[in-house]
Structure 1
Amino acid sequence: MDRISCLPDDVICHILSFLPTKHAVATSILSSRWVNLWSFLPIIDLDDHLYLNPLKKESSSVLFLDFVNRVLTLNQSQTIVKFRLHVHDISGQNMPRINGFIQNVILRNVVEIDLGIYLNYFPIDDDYIKISNSQSLKVLKIRSDNGLKLSTFPDCFPCLNIFDVKVPIHESSDDLVMNFFPCLYALEKLSLVVDLIDCSGEIYVNVGGNVLKSLELELSIDNYDDCDAMVIVDAPCLEYLRLQDGFLASYLVKNKPAISEVSLDVGDYDDEFLEFMDEMGHIRRSRFNELLQGLVNAKSISVSATTSKVIFSQKWNLPILPLTKLELTVHTSSWILLLYWLESCPNLKVLSLIIKEKPVEDFDMLEELELAEPDQVPSCLSLRVKEIEIKRLVKVEEEEMLKYLLDNAKVLDKFTVNSRVYIKNGILQ
C-alpha cells in the first residue's frame, strides 16, 4: 500500500516543496491522487540545468521558458514563499518574459526571490532585470551579468531584510548604489558585489540603515585612473563588516559603530596599482587611515595579506587601534609585517594568523619592502597577548615566525597551530 498517498494534501505538498519544481511536476504520473498536487506548492524552484538538452541549447532555452510560464500559470498557491529561477546562456529577446515571471510572483505576495540570469551577449538598457515594489518581499538574491532596476522610492520594499546581489553597474548615477539602500528600513543583511563597467568620474555608494547588522561590499573598477568610488556607511547597529576592492576606495564609516568583526581586503599589490600609487599614494593613505579611524570601536579586525603589503610598500604609519583581537593573513616571506600591526594594537589579547605561500608574482616586489624585525618587541606581545592561533601552516619554513612568537609572548595562555605539515625539532614543545 502507498502510505505516502494516505497523508493529507498539505503534508504531501510540504514534502514536495523540497524538490526542484521539475521533479515535483514529475510526481503527477504516480497516480491520479498526485496529478495536481504540485500546482499547490508555495515554493517554485526552476533551474534550466535540470531541463536543458546540452546539444540543443537555443531551442531548449525557449522550451524551458515555456515550461516556467506553464508552471506559473497552473500554480494555485495564493502566496509564493520562494521563487527561484536560474537561466543560463539566454538571448536578450527573452528578458521581457523573465521580467514578466518576476512580476507574476510579486503580485502573488512572494516572500523570497532567488535569481541567476546569465545572458549570451553584452546587455543593453532594456535587458535589465526589473523588480517593482513589493510589500511582502523579505529576501532578494540575484546573480547576473546584466543590470538591475528596482523601485527606489520610500517604502518600496518595507519588509526586505536580506539583500544579496551581484550585478554590473553601467551608469555612474545608478539608483541602486546612489539612493536605494537608505529606503530599506527593515534591511538587516546586505551583500553587494558590484562591477563598475565603463563608469567614469566619482561613483557614490550610499549604504546603511538603522537595523542593518551585516554588510558585505565588494567593488571592482575597470580603470581606476578614470573612475573612483566614494562609499558612505551609516549603520549604527552594524555587527559585521566586510570591504573588498582592488583600488582602495574612499570609505566613510559614520558614528563609529561597535562592530564585532571587520574584514578588510582593499588595494592591490601588483605593478599597475603600485605605479598608480606613485602619484596617488598620499590620497590613498589618508583614505585608509580614515577607514581605520571609523572602525576604532571594532572588537576584531581581519586584514588581507594584499592590504598589508600595500600599506608597508608605501611606508604608511598605522594609527593606534584599541583592538583586542586581530586576524592577519600573511605570506610566508612577509610574516614580519604582523609585528608592525602589533605595534599599533597595544591592547591586543588574541592574535590569529592565516599563513599562505607567497604568490609567484611577488618575488621581485617583496625584496623592495626591506622587511626587518623592529628594534623592540611590540608591547602587546610581551605584556597582553593571551592567545595565538596559527591557521593553514603549509611549510616548515615558518619556524622562524613561530619561534619569535613563542619567545616573546610572555603571558601566553594558549597557542594553537592548525597545520598540514609535521613540524620538526620540537618547535612547539
Structure 2
Amino acid sequence: MDRISRLPDDVICHILSFLPTKHAVATSILSSRWINLWSFLSVIDLDDTLYFNPSRRHPNSPLFANFLDRLLSHNQSQTITNFKLHIHDSHGHTLSRINRLIHNVVTKHVVEIDLGIFFSFHTDDDCLKIPNSGSLKVMKIRCEDGLKMPAFAGCFPGLREFDVKVSLVKSGDELLTNLFPCLPGLEKLCLVGDLTDCSGEIYVNVGGVGLKRLELELNIDNYDDCDAMVVIDAPRLEYLRLQDGFMASYLVKNKPAIREVRLDVGEYDEEFVEFLEEVGHVRLPRFNELLQGLVNARFISVAASTLKVVFSQRWNLPVLPSLTKLELEVHTSSWMLLLYWLESCPNLAVLSLIIKEKPIDDLDMLEELELTGPDAVPLCLLSRVKEIEITRLGRVDEEEMLKYLLDNAKVLDKFTVNSRMYIKDGILQ
C-alpha cells in the first residue's frame, strides 16, 4: 500500500481539494481505499470545458449535467467551503435549474460561491435567487450577457465580499434598492454594470454601513443615448475604484476618509471628444464634483485618458489637502500634464509616474492640448515631495521630464526608476 493511502481520510480529502473535481473523482479507480473519498470533498471545482466530449457531434451533451447532479446528490460533506461552477455551454441549463443547484449547495453551509455563466439563455428567465444563508461569506457571479442582479432571500449577515457582473438595465431599481439592506456585513463590493440597451438616465445607489472597498465599472456602447447617475453612501469606505468610458455622474456622500482612490473615467478618443463638444458643459464638471467628495483621500491614481480629458478643458482642480501620494499614468508626449495636478496637492510626499507610449488612436489630438510648462514650479515639488517613482521608463525623449523633476525636487530623498530597457549613458547626469 502506498504512503498516501495510509493518511487519514480528512488529509487525503484536503489534498484532493486542490484538484479540479473531475480529476479528484477519477482517483476513485485507484483502489477500494479511494472509491468513496470524493463524496466527502468540501471544495468543489467544476468547469464544463473539462467535460466536452470531442467524439460527440453536439457540444451540449448531457455528460456534464449528469455528472453535476450525481456529484451533489452523493456529497456527504457537512460543509462545502468553496463551490465553483463555470458553465460555458447551456447543456439544457436554465436559471431555474441553476437556482436549484445553488439551493442544494447552500444547505451544505457553503462559505464561498464562485459562479460563472458564459452563455445566453434562450428564454427570458428570472434572476438568480440566493436562499437564506448564515454561512456564506464570499460570492462571485460572472456572465457573458449581463444577468439581473441576484435576489437575496432574507438577511445575509455573514457575506463579506460580493463580486458580480450584471445588467443594470434588466435589474431595474427594485433589485438594486433591496440589495444592500440584505447585506449589512458587506465589506467589499466589485460591481461590473452592463448598460447595453440603456436609453435615458439610469440611477445606481451603492452603499452600506460596513462597506470598506468598492470597485465599480460601468460598460456602455451608446453613451450619447444613455447617462448614469451613481450615488455612493459608504461612511467607512477605504478603497474606491471607478471606471467608465463616458464620464458618469458620481456623488460620494459624507466625504469618507478614503485611503486609496483609482480613477479611470472618460475616454480620450476622437469620438468621445466630438461628443463632449455637444454635452461637455454637462459631463465635464462631474470630475471636479467627484474630487470634491474625495478631499480626504491620501492616495489617488488617475488613468492617462482621464488625465487628458481633464486637462483638455483647462479645469482648475480642487485642492486636495490630505493627498500624500499621487499616481499618474502619463503618455511620453504629454508628461507635462502632471504639473497641473501638482498645483492641487500642497502636501504631496510621493509622486508615482507610470509612463506609457502615445497610443495610436490619439491621432494628433495631443498637439491640440498646447502643452506649455507652468510659469512657476509647483510648491509641493519644491518643498514637500521626498520620493519620486517612475515605472516603464526607457525612451530618450523623456530626458526633459527627468531633468525637470531632478532640478526642481529640492527636498528629494529617494528617486526610483524601473526601466524596461537600459537608460543610455548620461541621461541622468
Provide the rounded CA distance (Å) in 2 between the counterparts of 1:36 and 1:337.
64
Pairwise mapping of residues 83-98 of structure 1 onto structure 2 (< 5 A)? 83-90=83-90, 93-98=93-98
Following TM superposition, by how much is the alpha carbon of 1:124 offset from its aligned partner in structure 2, in angstroms?
4.4
Alpha-carbon displacement from aligned partner over 1:70-117 (angstroms, at most 9, x marks no partner): 100111112221111011132665443323211211222211110111
2-structure distance, mates of 1:259, 1:285: 23
Greater alpha carbon shift after TM alignment, 176-185 vs 103-112: 176-185
Match in the other structure for 2:367:
367
The C-alpha deviation readout for 1:405-428, integer Å capped at 9, x for no partner, is: 011111111111000122224232
For the residue of structure 1 that corresponds to 2:125, the secondary structure is helix
- Residue equivalent to 1:220: 219
1:361-400 alignment to 2 at 5 Å? 361-400=361-400
Q: Secondary structure at the match of 1:45?
A: strand
For residues 21-70 of structure 1, give each alpha carbon's deviation from its aligned partner in whole angstroms, at most 9, with x where no partner exists: 11111111111111111101111111112221346473454211111111
Question: Does the 8 A contact of 1:214 with 1:238 survive in 2?
Answer: yes
Scaled by the length of structure 1, the TM-score of the pair is 0.94
Amino acid at match of 1:321: L
Alpha carbons 1:193, 1:219 under 8 Å: kept? yes
C-alpha distance in structure 2 between counterparts of 1:45 and 1:125, whole Å: 28
Between 391-400 and 343-352, report the one with greater CA deviation.
Answer: 391-400
Partners of 1:227 and 1:61 lie apart in 2 by 40
How is 1:299-378 mapped onto 2 (pairs within 5 angstroms)? 299-322=298-321, 323-378=323-378
Moved more, 348-357 or 129-138: 129-138
Q: Which residue of 2 aligns with 1:148?
A: 148
Q: 1:152 to 1:104 in 2, by over 3 A?
A: closer
Cα-to-partner distance string for 1:137-180 (whole Å, 9 max, x where unaligned): 11101110241342356x43221101011233333724443431
Task: Please give the per-residue CA displacement for 1:186-232, whole angstroms capped at 9, x wherever unaligned.
Answer: 11111111111212222221112122111100001221222211111
Partners in 2 of 1:13 and 1:172 — Cα distance? 40
Amino acid at match of 2:9: D
Residue aligning to 1:64: 64
Query: Cα distance 1:175–1:106, how it changes in 2: closer, same or farther (>3 A)?
Result: farther
For 1:410, the equivalent position in structure 2 comes to: 410
Q: Indicate conservation of the 8 Å contact 2:211/2:236, yes or no.
A: yes
Q: Is the 8 A contact 2:127 2:151 kept in 1?
A: no
Alignment root-mean-square deviation, CA = 1.9
Which shifted more, 170-179 or 32-41?
A: 170-179
- Say if 1:152 and 1:183, in contact at 8 Å, map to a contact too: yes
Partner of 2:254: 255
**Structure 2 CA distance for partners of 1:55 and 1:195, relative to 1, 3 Å:** farther
Closer, same or farther: CA 84–61 of 1 in aligned 2, 3 Å: farther
Matches within 5 A, 1:132-171: 132-146=131-145, 147-152=147-152, 155-171=154-170
| Identity in percent | 72
Given that residues 385 and 411 in structure 1 are in contact (C-alpha distance below 8 angstroms), is that contact kept between their aligned partners in structure 2?
yes
Paired residues in the alignment total: 427
Contact 1:200-1:227 within 8 A present in 2 as well = yes
Amino acid at match of 1:236: P
CA distance in 2, matches of 1:407, 1:57: 69
Q: Secondary structure at the match of 1:403?
A: helix
Match of 2:76 in 1: 76
The two structures have a TM-score, normalised by structure 2, of: 0.94
Q: Tell me what 1:6 maps to.
A: 6
SS at match of 1:310: helix
What is residue 45 of structure 1 aligned with on the other side? 45
Please give the secondary structure, in 2, of the residue aligned with 1:187: coil
C-alpha contact (below 8 Å) 1:356/1:394 kept by paired residues: no
Contact 2:251 2:290 in 1 (8 A): yes
**Which residue pairs with 1:113 in the alignment?**
113
Name the residue aligned to 1:103: 103
Structure 1 unaligned spans of 5+:
none
Structure 1 residues 93 and 65, CA, compared in 2 at 3 Å: closer, same or farther?
Answer: closer
> Partners of 1:409 and 1:163 in 2: how far apart?
43
- Where structure 2 has 5 or more consecutive residues not aligned to the other structure, the ranges are none
Shift of 1:311: 0.7
SS in 2 for 1:424: coil
- Kindly state the Cα deviation for residue 2 of structure 1 after the two structures are TM-superposed: 1.4
Q: Indicate the residue corresponding to 2:428 in structure 1.
A: 428
Counterpart of 2:26? 26
> Secondary structure of the equivalent of 1:372?
coil
Give the Cα separation in 1 of the matches to 2:98 and 2:172.
25
Equivalent residues in 2 for 1:173-184, closer than 5 Å? 173-184=172-183
Deviations 1:301-330 (A, max 9, x none): 000010011111122221111111100001
Query: 2: distance between equivalents of 1:47 and 1:407?
Result: 56
2:134 counterpart SS class? coil
What stretches of structure 1 move > 3 A for 4+ residues in a row?
A: 54-61, 91-96, 121-124, 127-130, 174-179
- Native 8 Å contact 1:130 1:148 kept in 2: no
- Contact 2:204–2:230 (CA under 8 A) maintained in structure 1: yes
1:171 match: secondary structure: helix
Contact 1:48 1:64 in 2 (8 A): yes
| Pairwise CA distance, 1:127 | 6.1
CA separation of 1:363/1:123 partners in 2, compared to 1, >3 Å: closer, same or farther? same
- Indicate the SS of the match to 2:205: strand
